Amino acid sequence: MKNKLMLPILLLSLASCAFGQIQVVKTAFNQDKDKNSAFNALSAVSATAGQKLIVTINQEGSHETNIMSVRYGKQDFTLAVRDDGSNFKMSEIWYLDVQQDQVADVVVRYCDTSGSRPVPVNACSAIALVTLTGAASGGPANTYTLSPIKLATPTAVAVEFSAGKSSAFVVGAYVQNNGKGQPQNPTQFSSILTADCGSSNAAVGYSLPSQSGPISYQWSAPAGFEIHPDNAVALASFAPRATN
């Protein structure tokens, strides 16, 4: 009698741990070389309730440049991870769970270190957007920042990162000072942008690894160049939504 009761209880327990699959709906990016601008934006972004928006920000500013807000319509994004790299380089990843169907702008506003006074980025800014379905609500499963810099070789920056959940979404944002060529995204990534945004070069991409354990990601310099020592990189993973 006890054995008959244990079987359905076990099956119910296993079913409650099932997870769906994250899908990338679309990506977009914008680079801003206007040193007098206090914001960067993506216009007329459409999203539906239940989707997750991920924004990456790569910038080279100054000692007083910070992020005042990242907003979609009337909803505010939440910071997942920030890497303050060397010589005023910065990489950030923000996320938002969409509450209602809408079409609105995604706007990144810059400020001073007090968080209250708008200031322009004095060098460059590149933002990227990823729209996801099937992602769990809330914050990241895992995050990583590069500082202090770790070089695999003079021509590559290496990061060992664990997604934390099987079939999670992994996004990485890298920026370095220019003069060393355009860095390339890790081979595991689908590239969203590789851009010269003025005095810096940015590279952003994502992957959907099947494993939850550590994977080595490398941002590499183009042939004939080396990685610039003034850089920043941030990674974050987001888990799939439970299906029941």
Q: Supply the pLDDT for residue 112.
A: 64
Q: What is the pLDDT of residue 150?
A: 63
First to last CA, the chain: 28
3-state secondary structure of 230: coil
Which residue, 106, 150, 144, is CA-closest to 237? Answer: 144
Predicted local distance difference test score (pLDDT) of residue 3: 46
How confident is the model at residue 113, as a pLDDT? 61
User: What ranges do the domains of the chain cover?
Assistant: 20-238
What was the pLDDT predicted at 15?
41
DSSP for 206-224? EE--S--SEEEEEEEPPTT
Residues 173/91, Cβ–Cβ less than 8 Å: yes
pLDDT at residue number 7: 38
**What pLDDT was estimated at residue 39?**
78
Task: Give the pLDDT of residue 97.
Answer: 98
**pTM for the whole structure:** 0.87
Note the Cα 46 to chain centre separation in Å. 19
Model pLDDT, residue 36: 58
Per run of 10 residues, the mean pLDDT along the chain (length 244 residues) is 42 48 94 68 94 92 72 96 82 96 93 62 79 97 77 80 91 86 92 84 92 90 83 93 80
